[in-house]
Amino acid sequence: MDETLEQELMARFERLTEELRTNQIQAFREDFLEMHYYEQGQFYQSLTSEDRLLLYSLLSPKEMADMFDVIEEDHENMSLYLSEMRPSYAAAMLAEMYSDNAVDLLNTLDKKQKAMYLSLMDKEVAADIRELLHYEDETAGSIMTTEYVSIVANQTVRSAMYVLKSEANVAETIYYIYVVDNEDRLVGVISLRDLIINDDDAMIQEIMSERVRSVHVGDDQEDVAQTFRDYDFLALPVVDYDDHLVGIVTVDDIIDVIDDEATSDYSGLAAVNVEEVDEHPLKAASRRLPWLIALLFLGMITATMINQYEELVSEASILAVFISLITGTAGNAGTQALAVAVRRIAMPEDKERSFLITVLSELITGLIIGLITGIVIFVLVALWKHNPILGFVIGIAMMCAITVANLAGTFIPMLMDKLGFDPAVASGPFISTLSDLTSVLIYFNIASLFMGYFIK
């Protein structure tokens, strides 16, 4: 945000807080409600618990719902916010929210709390939310909303516009209107533009598009996001096993999915939860330590292996100089291959490639990278130490270590994906530590073969 705009926003927040605390009800409501919902959410989250209690007395559940529909916050705070409200007020707010957002918020609570809020809602609204709560996490069903506009094929544009006007105030989007048959099966789609430009007496079935793209309630949210990316949709209809229209997924939810998936992949690659940037140091340490301890034991295997070559190193101490160079470069190559593999797995067009072809392609890539890097280090060492044989040993070891690390960085996440595990769990630190182990083994075995040629 521009610094001047940020300063203006902070000044507005200070004025609102003063109006709130001094009970200037009319002034506060006017200033607060003229802000964008996002800015309202930012102000709300900046308040103390005591100030938020004052806010609940000045805003209606509908006004709070409009703000909560755009708030992005961690689960702990969201449950705290609800607990501050009167149960009837919180239930009314949840009922006014878009159903998919209400479901996300309810999923931060335990079963007893969910049941309490649902029991306080209108029965029809509660039934819609309960239905969405039953869908598995990270599927199209779990992120869809039931607030959409649908019309039937055998009606006129005039009657369709009447339906649209009557339902637009509760629909999450009206840019696409979905067409169903008498049994609620999805048969087509029509845009708002098409309704406006066509004659009022035209039949919907004559102007609708039958090439409607839909997703299934059980489809993975990543696949749904990929469809949005490929087709540039603003919304996608969601159907059940019998092609009945049950909801829509909107682009704002997909942006959240893309953000969550990117964060998840980055967390996996780094072996740390990158979302918890402001957590307590003790809690942060407890999250990071398990991976580090596990990698420590793997590193001890590397140290033990180096110890096995102690006699070799004592005879040719120059070998110790290049250990970190070879292991570090191989680790970097492995991490690069891992990042590409995880990205490739996330892309359906690449995911369909043969497993063997992909691994073979990365093997060739690793050989090319290793060969060029090996030649460079061979020249550098030969000139630096005036020993071409030593340079040759370091170069060959570098080439082999990079090739193996590149292969591991590709093969391991792809194998994990084939076995049904999250490929991002094959984290960068794990691949890097594994590369250290294989690099040391390769390096000292090659060095032992040429010992008599470069020791003077």
pLDDT > 80? residue 278: no
pLDDT > 60? residue 402: yes
Q: What pLDDT was estimated at residue 386?
A: 86
Q: What pLDDT was estimated at residue 349?
A: 57
Q: What pLDDT was estimated at residue 121?
A: 92
In whole angstroms, give the CA distance from residue 398 to residue 402: 6
Could you tell me if residue 420 is left (phi over 0), alpha (psi between -120 and 50 degrees) or otherwise beta?
A: left
| Dihedral, CA of residue 49, residue 54, residue 60 and residue 66, to nearest 10 | -40
Greater confidence (211 vs 356) lies with 211
pLDDT tens readout for residues 10-61: 999 999 999 999 999 999 999 999 999 999 999 999 999 999 999 999 999 9
pLDDT tens readout for residues 283-340: 666 666 666 677 677 677 777 777 777 777 777 778 888 888 888 888 888 888 877 8
Q: What pLDDT was estimated at residue 15?
A: 93
Q: DSSP string of 247-301? A: EEEEHHHHHHHHHHHHHHHHHHHHTS-TT-SSS-HHHHHHHHHHHHHHHHHHHHH
Closest by CA position to 150, among listed 188, 205, 202: 188
Using DSSP, state whether 317 is helix, strand or coil.
coil
- Residue 187: both structure tokens together: 């048969």
Greater confidence (18 vs 453) lies with 18
Of 180-194, 241-255, 275-289, 327-341, the range with the lowest mean pLDDT is: 275-289
Q: What pLDDT was estimated at residue 279?
A: 58
Using DSSP, state whether 341 is helix, strand or coil.
helix
In whole angstroms, give the CA distance from residue 262 to residue 249: 19
pTM of the model: 0.61
Using DSSP, state whether 420 is helix, strand or coil.
coil
Q: What pLDDT was estimated at residue 427?
A: 61
Q: Please provide the average confidence, as pLDDT, over all residues in the chain.
A: 84
Map tokens 């190193």 to a residue. Answer: 313
Q: What pLDDT was estimated at residue 338?
A: 79
pLDDT tens readout for residues 215-239: 999 998 888 988 888 888 889 999 9
Q: What pLDDT was estimated at residue 170?
A: 84
pLDDT > 80? residue 68: yes
Burial class, 327, CB count within 10 angstroms (exposed 0-12 / middle 13-18 / buried 19+): buried
In whole angstroms, give the CA distance from residue 44 to residue 13: 9
Helix or strand holding residue 379 (H, E): helix 355-385
In whole angstroms, give the CA distance from residue 203 to residue 205: 5
Q: What pLDDT was estimated at residue 314?
A: 74
Q: What pLDDT was estimated at residue 369?
A: 92
Whether residue 212 contacts residue 188, with contact meaning beta carbons closer than 8 Å, is answered with: yes
